[in-house]
Amino acid sequence: MNKMELKFSATLENEALARIAISSFIAPLNPSLEDISEIKTMVSEAVSNAIIHGYGFDMSRDVILRCELEKRTLTIIVIDYGKGIENLEEAKRPHYSSRPDLERAGMGLTIMETLADDFEIRSVYGMGSKVIIKKNIALKGEYVS
């Protein structure tokens, strides 16, 4: 198993860092462009949720990105120690946003859940959240269900 961990300041500029890091991490698998795009999208959504909703743009706080690669299964874990999610079921509803003032679509959790092969959120209100995403990376030309 290969693994990495990256800790960075909770600023939206670091969303690109997270996307590049994960792309580099999976590069030895020679993933399809579709897999790369889906993985980068899920990482973007998880990281931006931590920054915006978990920390309220407090760049003095850190977001943690952990990745594990076992055979062709990628596990992505994004952790924040921010405010947590008060009502997880409500947060999972499409178009729900705890920050409607930011004109966000409220689709981040739905997008991650749709693109992932396995998706889980653990959150304790007042303590933070952990998003766990699993994605099977196909060999080029192979279909993984």
CATH of the domain at 13: 3.30.565.10
Domains identified in the chain, total number: 1
Instruction: Assess if residue 141 is contained within a domain.
Output: no
Q: Which residue reads 């995403």 in tokens? A: 133
**Domain range for 41:** 2-136
Instruction: Assess if residue 77 is contained within a domain.
Output: yes
Give the confidence band of 145 by pLDDT, cuts at 50, 70, 90.
low
% of the chain residues with pLDDT over 90: 75
The phi and psi torsions of 98 (rounded to 5 degrees) equal -80, -5
Instruction: Assess if residue 96 is contained within a domain.
Output: yes
Catalytic residue selected from 14, 15, 19, 49 = 49
Q: Indicate if 104 belongs to the active site.
A: yes
Give the confidence band of 104 by pLDDT, cuts at 50, 70, 90.
low
Q: Indicate if 30 belongs to the active site.
A: no
pTM: predicted TM-score of the whole model, two decimal places: 0.87
Instruction: Assess if residue 144 is contained within a domain.
Output: no
Exposure string for 100-116, b = 16+ CB within 10 A, e = fewer? eeeebeeebbbbbbebb
Catalytic residue selected from 104, 113, 122, 136 = 104
Asked if 45 and 105 count as a contact pair (C-beta separation under 8 A), the reply is: no
Q: Indicate if 99 belongs to the active site.
A: no
State the pLDDT at residue 105: 60
Catalytic residue selected from 14, 15, 45, 61 = 45
**Torsion of Cα atoms, 40 then 48 then 124 then 73, to 10°:** 10
Instruction: Assess if residue 145 is contained within a domain.
Output: no
96: pLDDT strictly greater than 70: no
Distance CA 64, CA 127 (A): 14
